[in-house]
Chains A and B, each alone.
Chain A
């Protein structure tokens, strides 16, 4: 062992050194500090949690460590005591003993379990002949070691979500294990939010696998939103807040409240617009038993002029609601009542929804909301073409004037209707797309992450446009994980967990901290609610 360490100093571990030591890592994006002097370490054989809200810098940190982002100068990274040159060159993390499992897992659904398992070898090893029976035997051996019951011949598409996650993790671990055998580096596995789409039993299975992996000497960095899970699986956890390390907690000694207050911080929020209370009035729009995707049957009522926020952890189903209501995704059940008009949502097509006064601004700005290579005029006038007709057909100058006028009203910069949508900044694109729908004076405006990738100034203008729409009598539903945004624009906020509403915040409770706190608590709340429902049903 020691002789091999002398001959190959590159990957050999230094005795007593942490598995990973990152020091003074900073990352600036166009003047904005996404990571500010982050220092943390992970011990060999440790499951280390990485926690923080959206925008706290978790994903930036992971991307720096995987070589996707170049950090600002001044940072250091040591793996098992050996200095690693920053920026990490893309693709070299595997030879350093690092391996990443992202939320999308990176499996090819059409290929079999075995093919997916060896795809990493296929990419790197130059071998003309693949010994499939041998590979299969090895795969079964590996699965047996972790007590997994996976059929190597089965296409990944036929596996349940849990088994896909397990397969992706085993594959990542096998990648670094090969390195382990060569250099004696046990390796570090990054799991980036692996659990949101898994049922509770699935999470247990995944944790069993993680425990098996650390027993073999490797370390696991477990990135999550979910405090309960972090408390269950980790040894220690580092909390990021606003790009800085808020602290590292030893899990056994910390309470849940300590975690939550560390995640949220104790910053005092500036006072926001007064949420209006509509509860005295009967609902103008009511949604009943809406379900589909991750959402289990959910009912809620809305008032004209009210802005309602929907939030929750990833996978909790809240972000399905705008799409289900609009007919953009197929609803399994549900009906919506607008005034006298009662409609079955399961048969709704976007055209019907628009005719009924709904408007949807999807989060995928240039994929679903507008076409980047077409002009501002083309994009803005699409929903109102019938109004823009002259005797000979479409009134082209009229269309341009409409776009110009809306551009002025919503402060699109530059206000040049002939420009292509893609050549505007994210914030201005969003103003164009908001104007596209607000000119139809929708009865119900559905928003999904309306200010994602929108700069601070444009953000206020987008809020202004939303507020104006609600003053003119539109009801607004805004799905978002940006708690600050929700607290700024919403009269009420519903928090979702496991496909259902677990909490409704209104009035003075609509603050960033309250929303964040309740969202972090939501999984325990959902347990409580289910229990309450069950007793209710029994009674």
Chain B
């Protein structure tokens, strides 16, 4: 299973590296959003520390959706999904391969967006950046698991671009809320132990979503 997942993830990353279509689109959206939010912010009424975590997670959510839609879109072009489903790899391996590639994509976007937010909002981020990166990756696991599953569900529907956000955003809430709260603690320079309750919730949802989405994936792609 892991070998099949690795082959599929490597294939997706190769395609994305060649085309860079989804990565550049998501990155452009993220950076433009950072700039727009910056210029829409009145620093006299709201402090940077109050605004930045929310801005960060709104940008991560919607830029992630841009990439997640194309996750199975690449299989739609020439009916390649049939080739994947007709191969002797388990459905779980297909899901994990797609999940892994999407996770790399989302983390790559975050790796550029976080420094941009720190720069534009003039945040003092010292050693907390490691913990912040950890929170970002942890939350990405839950977001990507749900997004990958619903991307497969929306694949053959008529209004996939509209359906994907409508389906996924409610499931993003239990991941984004604790991630944003933990980000508030870290950016505020408070001890990380204050963020532990939120991190536990985040970890629990990650485990539940990852297991559940892997298990039900086969029912979304089999007829």
- Report if A and B associate in a common complex: no
Residues of A within 8 A of B (CB): none
Interface residues of B (CB under 8 A from A): none
